[in-house]
Structure 1
């Protein structure tokens, strides 16, 4: 009985780590994509492609993630929003959306 509880506790802690890893990776990819799109010689689609590439290389099954990028504020900010499903068992996703948003100042003249 105790072994089953300890196993369940360890599995829950590991799953929580997977969820936190997924969320942190989404935040990092969104901020990197926003900064990349804000460079003077880049555009919004470059930032969106960069965000999608970072997600697919870091999170399994991230091909289904939605990356939206737009100008915010008075046009001087670039906002990247990443939406993906919450990992339920390992990296197998559940139908619960998880979203991360990042912004960067546009450096184009």
Structure 2
């Protein structure tokens, strides 16, 4: 019983770690895409590189980027849909979705 409880706590910790890594990668990708001299595709590439290096390519398969003004100013939104780790890094595909925003920079 104690072993099962310990493994469950470790799995919960891994799930939280993966979620935080994917979210931080989305934030980094959004800020990179929002730079005045980069494109939206550069933000997707940056996010994909970070996620692939840290938790694996399976978590970097579905990354979307868009320009939005939902927050009252021009912004870039990066959304990552990734598996939710249930047993180790194996998990439910597309069960976890995180998004990040960054204000768009300009040369004006």
In the superposition, the TM-score normalised over structure 2's length comes to 0.89
Judge which range, 93-102 or 21-30, deviates more: 93-102
Give the Å deviation of 1:18.
Answer: 0.8
Q: In the TM superposition, what is the alpha-carbon distance from 1:41 to its structure 2 partner? A: 1.2
The CA RMSD measured in Å over matched residues stands at 1.6
Cα distance 1:66–1:95, how it changes in 2: closer, same or farther (>3 A)? closer
For the 8 Å contact 2:63–2:81, the answer to whether it is kept is yes
Comparing 6-15 and 53-62, the one that deviates more:
53-62
Q: Secondary structure of the residue that 1:49 maps to in structure 2?
A: helix
CA contact (8 A) 2:35 2:104 kept: yes
Runs of at least 5 residues in structure 1 that lack an aligned partner in the other structure: none
* Cα separation, partners in 2 of 1:61 and 1:53, compared to 1, 3 Å: closer
- Aligned partner of 2:63 among 61, 67, 78: 67
Moved over 2 A (4+): 60-65
Counterpart in the other structure of 2:89:
91
Aligned to 1:11: 7
> How far off is 1:60 after superposition?
2.8
Give the TM-score of the pair, scaled to structure 1: 0.89
Count how many residue pairs are aligned between Structure 1 and Structure 2. Answer: 105
Out of 39, 54, 59, which is 1:58 matched to?
Answer: 54
Unaligned runs of 5+ in 2: none
